[in-house]
Structure 1
Amino acid sequence: MDVKYDLTSYVRVLKLASTPSWEEFSQIGLIAGAGIVLVGFLGFLIYAVMSFLPGGV
């Protein structure tokens, strides 16, 4: 385990990273929010179907 090599690779990655612009940040937020809503809606549909089936929840 070469600690010096690991640290230099971490520093190199941090130097390449940049702060996103407001437009990029808001677009990522919208996409992530849409994914969360979609997964929640899918879970609700599964719960609704299972509650109507005999022996469901």
Structure 2
Amino acid sequence: MDVPLEPSAYTRVLKLASTPSWNEFSQIALIAGAGILLVGLMGFIIGVTMGIIPGV
């Protein structure tokens, strides 16, 4: 993989990039938060199951 060293390659990308709107940001944050909660809930359920049923 060849990484370009000249700054012009990076300025082109920065010119195309834009900051997200508030609606877009809040939607992304909501989806990411839901994913974090889902993974945490699954870990909690597995931990409780391992504590209740010995030998699992």
CA distance in 2 between partners of 1:3 and 1:41 (Å): 45
Q: What TM-score does the superposition give when structure 2 sets the normalisation length?
A: 0.79
State the 1:24 CA deviation: 0.4
Amino acid at match of 1:36: I
CA distance in 2 between partners of 1:32 and 1:2 (Å): 32
CA distance in 2 between partners of 1:53 and 1:28 (Å): 38
Identity among equivalent positions (%) equals 61
Structure 2 gap ranges (5+):
none
Cα-Cα RMSD: 1.8
Q: Give CA deviations for 1:4-45 in whole Å, capped at 9, x if unaligned.
A: 2xx322222111110101100110111011011101101101
Aligned residues: 54
Amino acid at match of 2:39: V
**What is the aligned partner in structure 1 of residue 47 from structure 2?**
47
Larger relative contact order, structure 1 or 2 (CA cutoff 8 Å, min sep 6): 1
